Amino acid sequence: MNPVAFEMFSVEIRWYGILICLGVLSALLLANYNCKRKNLNFDLLTDVFLWAFPAAIVGARLYYVAFEFDQYKDNLVDIFKLREGGLAIHGGLIGALIAVIIFAKIRKINLLEYADVAAPAIILAQAIGRWGNFMNGEAHGGVVTSEFIGHFPEFIQKGMNIGGNYYHPTFLYESIWNVIVCGILLFILYKRKESQKGIVICSYLSLYSLGRVFIEGLRTDSLMMGSLRVAQVISLAGIVIGIIGIIIFYRKKQIKVKIEN
């Protein structure tokens, strides 16, 4: 696949960036709808986004570079070439979380309430953003047979034909899983009681992590720490933390979380 969509003033505009922007726009539209359903202030959530999104990009890049520093140590300028890919979702989530906590501390908002309406939007953005990996020819799995890849649409077959071999379209597996999780989260959000704030964001953490554990095992470009796949370790922790959070918030009649000075 050609990762370049078009050129503007001699600058390459890549599909990776376009799809990330499309994911962000879709997330904002869904978050706006969720805020209306839950009678929340979307302008406030937009303010949160303006803090969280840049922090997520920085966190995603630093996380990736930290585990792949050998690629950049001889040419540090390449660290800033975001259009070529190299963003790790777990680093992005960590960066965004730090920014959101700081914002919530300053503005004294109900963090769980807004996290719940944002969770389906976040996973939707992830689902769309994974197609940027497809256009870059990255985040795929191991070699598969032509018979196996033949079950997929022709454009997927062409995109996964890299160097004469066919590869697992793991980006597609994760994108589909994320769409399914988005639907589940929306159902929980619209059905949950107002006293059970926090269940949706914890469900996001556990469900996304569950899919990532299995899909990561198929990938060939995993970030490693010794013999361990970092994403699998973090995802396993995410499953446990998410389930514990669901149990806690489900049992409590009323949860009000405010970060005080």
Binding site listing: 130
Question: Using CB atoms within 10 A of its CB, is residue 26 exposed (0-12), middle (13-18) or buried (19+)?
Answer: middle
User: Reduced to 3 states, what is the DSSP secondary structure of residue 107?
Assistant: helix
Q: Are strands 228-229 and 224-225 parallel, antiparallel or unpaired?
A: antiparallel
Burial class (CB in 10 A: 0-12, 13-18, 19+), 64: buried
| Secondary structure (3-state) at 184 | helix
CB 122 within 8 A of CB 204: yes
Q: 218 with 168: CB under 8 angstroms?
A: yes
The string of DSSP codes covering 35-80 is HHHHT--HHHHHHHHHHHHHHHHHHHHHHHHHHSGGGTTT-GGGGG
Q: Where are the alpha helices (DSSP H) in the chain?
A: 15-38, 42-67, 89-107, 111-136, 146-149, 154-159, 170-191, 199-216, 230-251
